[in-house]
A = this chain, B = another copy of it.
Amino acid sequence: MVTVTIVKIGYIGTTTLIDAILDERSARADIKIRVISSSVQMGEADAEDAAKIAAGVPSDLYVAISPNVGLPGPAKVREILKKTGKPIIVIGDEPSRKAVKSFPEEGIGYIVIYGDPMISAKAPFLDPVEMALFNADVIRVLAVTGVFRLVHTTLDKVIEEIKAGQKPVLPELIINKTAALAASDIKNPYAYAKAMAAYEASKEVASLSTEGVFKLEERSEAMPVLAAAHELMRMAAKLADEAREIEKANDTAVRLAHFKKGDLRRRVKLFEEPEK
């Protein structure tokens, strides 16, 4: 039994389901998952607080997920978790790509997801409903384009190594469009291209939201850009959906599910017997 403790500081799209993708049916008997989160708050004090609780949970593996892992809050989490001496994997969005460069020498693994964009978090635009809709779109893109597959199989591998009593090899993984799609198991070439386009559109969303949130001070200038970011995200989700529907129409939508002992079984044709 491996205990995986996940520390969530603030939100990226992957935060919503990062633990659930490890055991989608709650069927596994080989792992125990605990999640400690400071919710949307990313300040150093909040992060420290959550990390300390997490450090108090006897764990075999820590996963810390947040936006931009180079910020003080997420850094504090790593500082505290490192004291446990347990393996740590950090997951972040594209702005995290600079900070992670030094992680290997600290013995920390990382996964950086380029297609998990910042939300248009500015006062006159974002409310809970708009925020939720944005996340629904992001989740769809991450699910279809291979990101969630690549994240869970990467974590699955580390967990297997821990189960086997080995010192795990921690990931150093940048999920750009090539890496994501390679994990997507999409068979039709046009569906593959659609999913790749969705991933790039999703990545481009961050350019717009960043501009709208940080660069444009005039509300009248910022608002169209903030809204355009979310429209582009909705479009990306639609494109991902188109890709998935093609795979379904061809009965080639691959399923790779977790079973009791943590083993993964792969199946393609929906109404036929599972393969291992």
Contact = CB atoms under 8 A, between A and B. Distances in A.
Interface string A6-37: 10101100001101111111110000111111
Given A148-B129, A193-B227, A269-B189, A249 B251 contact: no
B33 A40 contact: yes
- Chain A interface: which size bin? 35 or more
Interface in A123-168: 123-133, 135-137, 139-140, 142-144, 148-149, 152
A56 B271 CA distance: 48
A238 interface: yes
A64 interface: no
Contact of A228 (B8, B200, B269): B200
A181 to B, nearest CB: 7
29 contacts: A16-B135, A17-B132, A17-B135, A19-B39, A20-B39, A20-B128, A20-B131, A25-B40, A26-B42, A33-B38, A34-B49, A34-B53, A127-B256, A128-B149, A132-B142, A132-B148, A139-B139, A178-B221, A181-B224, A188-B248, A188-B251, A189-B270, A192-B224, A193-B228, A194-B228, A196-B225, A197-B232, A197-B235, A227-B270
